[in-house]
Structure 1
Amino acid sequence: MIEGVFAINKPASISSAQVIRNLQHHFNPSALFAPWLAAERSSRKVEERTHRNRRKDKRVQVKIGHGGTLDPMATGVLIMGVGKGTKRLQGFLECTKVYEATILFGAATDTYDVQGKVLRRADYGQVTREKVEKALGKFRGKLMQRPPIYSALRVQGKRLYEYAREGKEVPKEIEARPVEVKDLEVVEWMEGGSHTYSFHKEEAEDEAKDLAEKVLHLEESVATSANAVGSESVNGVANTGAKRKRPLDDGDSVVPRKKPELERDGVSPSLMSGGLQSPSRSPEDPPVHPHSQQNLPPPGQGPPAVKLRMTVTSGFYVRSFTHDLGEMMGSLACMCALVRTRQGDFELGKNVLEYENLEKGEDVWGPKVEQLLTDWQRSNQGNDGVADRSVDERRRRRNSSSDAS
């Protein structure tokens, strides 16, 4: 009977929960996990005699869980626990992770990524590789970060994204949490017109924008360049005529305060519900909202994009970082691609099962999964893990056999 922890390369467009269901679809009828299922059925029979009707779900399936969810659009390392290996998943939630995130400048959406509806657009002509690389220095090291409103964090038993979808205000302040960015570097810079990334063509309805203002305070935190330039459109962004309100500062929550506070000098406004604390600025930093016509790109060139590699600690939200980086550039930004290349000791291209192998049959994926689980068991001997319990069970069997003889 084999169980433990392994990693799979999650593809785009499916949820982490769907990956579990797909794995069970392949694992349940397999020869590899037949011993595990037989042991589970035997355990269930004993349990039924001692605890009647304890289990509402009578189906016997391979027990699988994941150690850190990935959004449907994200790809890469997804840690999977099988059987008693699910008890070790908590440790993977707390370990260091490596991401490659691609960021597109010029707009904010209702989902923080390019798949969402556009809530607001902003100038991007002032965004250059040199300025982005300089800004990254502000985000390295230990920081305080507030989870975004569209996150799975629970507040009073309800996930934050449920408040956002229902247009309800979060009943308590979302507190900033300490995170650490151990490494942050530019992998690739893409000038406008040199890539295929783009925002969703669909603009959010006025009702949705009002909802965003109510829940995310977008109007308070962002004033596009078009508002300052005048009635003319800039980079295709028409002037809305809206007046700039006070920005959210580091201590604000998503719940509006009764008495507005004055904007603090030198503190850049945070987008949506709050991301990283706004780092201090120097006179050489790009202004929060530059409006110089000479910085505008040629017509039709489109917004630039950048791919970044970051090594971060548990609890870090790439989407919050993306918004803060766009705002620091005097623009807006959305995530257009995200790959988790490493989590703990699991790394793409080294010891991660390719998802496409599942459709090739057990003859292909079976030996790979068995090897990954065996390697993990061996590496975790002595760490009070699954391997230790398996070793102890084998020793007890040998001792019982010796006593019987």
Structure 2
Amino acid sequence: MPKATRQPVSALFAVAKPSGPTSMAIVNDIKKLVTRSRLFVKEQDIEKAKKKGKPRGKYARDTVKIGQGGTLDPLADGVLVVGVGKGTKKLQEFLDCVKEYRTTALLGCETDSFDSEGAVVRVAPWKHVTREKVEEAMPQFRGEIQQKPPIFSALKMDGRRLYDYAREGIPLPRPIEARPVTVHSLDILEWKGSDHSYKYPEKKFTAEQKDALQKALHGIEDQVIVADEPEAAAEDDTPATAFVLQMRVSGGTYVRSIVHDLGHAVGSAAHVVTLTRSRQGRFALEPTAEDNSLGCVPWEVFEKAVEDPGEPDADGWYEWERAIMEKMEVVGEHE
């Protein structure tokens, strides 16, 4: 391993993000370490930062640039690619690259966000859905498909975010445009059935919220069916069927939309209860020698270092810096 006197580098590395925090919160915590690290910042710049106190604002940004190559929702965990210095210029390729996901779908319930973080929009029958029925419906979601983003998303239409139309009851000026995406593979990894502990969200749409959504979708092909289906077994205590999907998709693909649309395709409803990005480009949770993929630094390594970085080793490196060096891709020397 190199000594701490080496020239600072620009690099790409991946963090194994946990479910819970936002991607921005993760990057901001890593920035606190990176802006004081001899691995990424010149010695004289670190000394300037120390004299000025804790780096923040414009000074911290000028010391070293840092960014991430594709946001993960708070619910999601897995590969989060981080670029430092010149590495930030390489992040666009990770937005456009092929990604792999594992996601758990729970039948019988549809939410506004298409996942368990949202509010229940409707419930629907699910007992008729078998593994065979899901597998029969899956081919229509493979290959080059047209996918509509969720109405509860931050995408803009005529300068207003889609979720604002839905929440405020403002009719959409036109249908949400479908986008071409590629689903390279889509398979059932595990059929859990009712052997799980997942539950529907406690948050539910109020009558006013349902009315606002109906007004937003007035005259538009429904993306969200608002009314509960009367035959849905609301008082049945049996856990609804859950199953795990594994997929390889192009950039811009909404995994939550695939689960939502698949629920409709089998005559039910569905939402995401777990979501893991297992691979993004050449970074993976489980790297293999065959494809020269790189692994991820556990988030706990950074979390521990933010609280207490400990003492540097004989070569002058902290534990978190060593962890990065073992898995980083050097882009060039820091300017």
SS in 2 for 1:113: coil
- 1:96 is matched with 98
| Deviations, residues 30-50 of structure 1 (Å, cap 9, x unaligned) | 3433417829979xxxxxxxx
- 2:191 is matched with 189
Distance of aligned partners of 1:214 and 1:358 in 2 relative to their CA distance in 1, 3 Å threshold: same
- Cα separation, 1, equivalents of 2:182 and 2:267: 24
- Cα separation, 2, equivalents of 1:213 and 1:219: 11
Distance of aligned partners of 1:359 and 1:16 in 2 relative to their CA distance in 1, 3 Å threshold: closer
Residue of structure 2 aligned with 1:312, choices 236, 249, 255: 249
Letter in 2 for 1:313: S
Residue of structure 1 aligned with 2:233, choices 214, 232, 235: 235
User: After TM superposition, which residue ranges in structure 1, 4 or more long, deviate above 6 angstroms?
Assistant: 39-42
Residue of structure 2 aligned with 1:354, choices 276, 295, 298: 298
Contact 2:214 2:226 in 1 (8 A): no
**TM superposition shift of 1:234:** 3.9
Residues 171-210 of structure 1: pairs in structure 2 closer than 5 A: 171-192=173-194, 194-210=195-211
**TM superposition shift of 1:201:** 2.4
| Deviations, residues 277-316 of structure 1 (Å, cap 9, x unaligned) | xxxxxxxxxxxxxxxxxxxxxx432210110000001111
- Cα separation, 1, equivalents of 2:167 and 2:63: 33
- 2:15 is matched with 8
Residue of structure 1 aligned with 2:319, choices 349, 358, 364: 364
- Cα separation, 2, equivalents of 1:12 and 1:61: 30
Residue of structure 1 aligned with 2:33, choices 23, 26, 39: 26
- 1:402 is matched with none
| Deviations, residues 40-96 of structure 1 (Å, cap 9, x unaligned) | 979xxxxxxxxxxxxx93445532111111111001001111111111111111100
Q: Count the aligned residue pairs.
A: 300
Residue of structure 2 aligned with 1:155, choices 138, 151, 157: 157
Residues 5-404 of structure 1: pairs in structure 2 closer than 5 A: 5-35=12-42, 38=45, 57-59=58-60, 60-192=62-194, 194-216=195-217, 222=225, 226-227=229-230, 234-236=232-234, 299-350=236-287, 351-361=295-305, 362=309, 363-373=318-328, 376-377=329-330, 386-387=331-332, 390=333
Structure 1 residue runs without a partner (length 5+)? 43-55, 228-232, 238-298, 378-385, 394-405
Q: Percent identity?
A: 41
Q: Of Structure 1 and Structure 2, which has the larger fraction of its residues in strand? A: 2
TM-score by length of 1: 0.68
Distance of aligned partners of 1:114 and 1:36 in 2 relative to their CA distance in 1, 3 Å threshold: farther
Contact 1:4 1:84 in 2 (8 A): yes
SS in 2 for 1:372: coil
Structure 2 residue runs without a partner (length 5+)? 1-7, 50-56, 288-294, 310-317
Distance of aligned partners of 1:78 and 1:300 in 2 relative to their CA distance in 1, 3 Å threshold: same
Let me know the Cα RMSD of the aligned residues: 2.7
**TM superposition shift of 1:137:** 1.8
- Cα separation, 1, equivalents of 2:162 and 2:26: 23
Contact 2:71 2:80 in 1 (8 A): yes
- Cα separation, 1, equivalents of 2:158 and 2:91: 24
- Cα separation, 1, equivalents of 2:125 and 2:227: 7
Distance of aligned partners of 1:69 and 1:223 in 2 relative to their CA distance in 1, 3 Å threshold: closer
- Cα separation, 2, equivalents of 1:36 and 1:185: 50
- Cα separation, 2, equivalents of 1:90 and 1:355: 23
- Cα separation, 2, equivalents of 1:235 and 1:108: 14
- Cα separation, 1, equivalents of 2:157 and 2:11: 32
Letter in 2 for 1:88: K
SS in 2 for 1:3: strand
TM-score by length of 2: 0.81
